[in-house]
Amino acid sequence: MTRPYNFSAGPAMLPEPVLQRAREEMLNWHDSGMCVAEMSHRGKEFMSIAEGAEADLRELLGISDEYRVLFLQGGASSQFAMVPMNLLRGRTSADYINTGSWSKKAIAEARRFCTPAIAASTEDDRFSRAPVQDELKLSPDAAYVHYTPNETIEGVEFPEIPDTGDVPLVADMSSTLLSRPLDVSRFGLIYAGAQKNIGPAGLTIVLVRADLIGETLPGTPAMFDYGIHAKNDSMYNTPPTYAWYLAGLVFAWLKELGGLAAMAEINRRKAAKLYAAIDDSSFYANPVEPRARSWMNVPFTLADPALDGDFLAGAKAAGLLTLKGHRSVGGMRASIYNAMPEAGVEALVEFMREFERTRG
Ligand code: PMP
């Protein structure tokens, strides 16, 4: 049986070999007699799964010992609060770059804890581009600079990493982490909700430079303290064990595929094919400036929005699921994370061409 292609923005497709492996191991993981979901997080079986996943993630991203890798809960949305709670370290302001809906949420949450200064905003351009380095008004007194390298809703991705000098750079990489190689040493902290490129919802990955943790705002709950999670190897409380295990299977799948350089090559080709189909037509349009077009989330509109319903119904019948755009922007959005096969993008392009030919 072939499965349909699911273009959901997240929770999103998981690699089929990962799902197959999870199925094989469901009732009896490695002769333990247990499903991973039934294991004590402190037992030797789960400890080996946890350590293996961290080692593979470190290898994939080339993460040095200077960084702690945390496997947390609470989603990226909790990080909007945890970042200021942990990284202000006596300062009263932080710089935020505003490039879309998720940046705005991070900024709104930071206001509970400090005065976020807007280093740049593309809101006047309807979030259709990424700012260039010269536009950034960065303060040397900022506790950190926060940005969203890939805006999942608007489909805008920074083509380069901003230079923030000695001020730690913090990135919400929820919808781009693991899509290509990354120089982690450029960052003070990286966080990502798992439900796009990493695994199922319920797990949040944080990579944080060890020297930045340990000084929290007064009143910070233990569960919001990176230092406490780091000291306890992400086992201060019961971690999301099954999600951690599935993420580990995803990391192993990526390694088998040839790592992030190989993944990047596939992702680059997938995105190029889809954008070419949009640009080659006068029926489909994407509003994002070419240099900042996301490899992962491709929003597009039809020349006649009255055809949106027919497009979605036809796509579904052709085995192409969840193409409806975010409710805030409308139109369509194809999320083409790591687990989306190139054949899925090709099937979408073929459907789009046929729809335009017959209905456009
Ligand atoms: N940031 C980005 C860039 C996202 O795409 C999302 C989820 N779509 C979030 C934050 C929020 O993540 P969560 O639902 O895990 O809190």
Does the pLDDT of residue 146 top 80, yes or no?
yes
Does the pLDDT of residue 50 top 90, yes or no?
yes
Ligand 1 and 79: CB distance under 6 A? no
Ligand 1 pocket, mutate which of 96, 127, 152 (most atoms under 8 A from CB): 152
Examine the domain organization and report whether 198 and 286 are in the same domain. no
Q: Is residue 8 part of a domain?
A: no
Does the pLDDT of residue 106 top 70, yes or no?
yes
Which pLDDT score, from 0 to 100, does residue 2 have? 84
Domain end, chosen from 205, 236, 256, is at 256
Examine the domain organization and report whether 323 and 285 are in the same domain. yes
Task: Report the nearest atom of ligand 1 relative to the CA of 153.
Answer: 5
For 198-243, what is each residue's pLDDT tens digit? 999 999 999 999 999 999 999 999 999 999 999 999 999 999 999 9
Q: Is residue 171 part of a domain?
A: yes
Domain end, chosen from 256, 287, 304, is at 256
Which pLDDT score, from 0 to 100, does residue 302 have? 97
Examine the domain organization and report whether 248 and 269 are in the same domain. no
Give the residue whose CA is nearest to atom 10 of ligand 1: 76
Give the residue whose CA is nearest to atom 12 of ligand 1: 76
Which pLDDT score, from 0 to 100, does residue 328 have? 85
Give the residue whose CA is nearest to atom 14 of ligand 1: 75
Q: Is residue 2 part of a domain?
A: no
Ligand 1 and 294: CB distance under 6 A? no
Query: Is residue 103 annotated as involved in ligand binding?
Result: no
Query: Is residue 56 annotated as involved in ligand binding?
Result: no
By annotation, the residues acting in catalysis are: 102, 172, 196
Examine the domain organization and report whether 124 and 268 are in the same domain. no
Examine the domain organization and report whether 114 and 184 are in the same domain. yes
For 235-253, what is each residue's pLDDT tens digit? 999 999 999 999 999 999 9
Query: Is residue 238 annotated as involved in ligand binding?
Result: yes
Q: Is residue 12 part of a domain?
A: no
Q: What's the CATH number where 22 sits?
A: 3.40.640.10
Examine the domain organization and report whether 76 and 151 are in the same domain. yes
Examine the domain organization and report whether 208 and 289 are in the same domain. no
Examine the domain organization and report whether 185 and 40 are in the same domain. yes
Q: What's the CATH number where 298 sits?
A: 3.90.1150.10
Structural domain harbouring 86: 17-256
Ligand 1 and 234: CB distance under 6 A? no
How high does pLDDT run on average in the chain? 97
Count of the separate structural domains present in the chain:
2
Q: Is residue 4 part of a domain?
A: no
Examine the domain organization and report whether 352 and 311 are in the same domain. yes
Examine the domain organization and report whether 135 and 284 are in the same domain. no
Closest CA to 287 of 272, 301, 303: 301
Ligand 1 pocket, mutate which of 71, 82, 96, 102 (most atoms under 8 A from CB): 102
For 14-34, what is each residue's pLDDT tens digit? 999 999 999 999 999 999 999
Q: Is residue 5 part of a domain?
A: no
Domain end, chosen from 204, 232, 256, is at 256
Which pLDDT score, from 0 to 100, does residue 360 have? 83
Q: Is residue 284 part of a domain?
A: yes
Examine the domain organization and report whether 250 and 269 are in the same domain. no
Which pLDDT score, from 0 to 100, does residue 1 have? 59
Examine the domain organization and report whether 26 and 133 are in the same domain. yes
Instruction: Note the ipTM here.
Output: 0.99
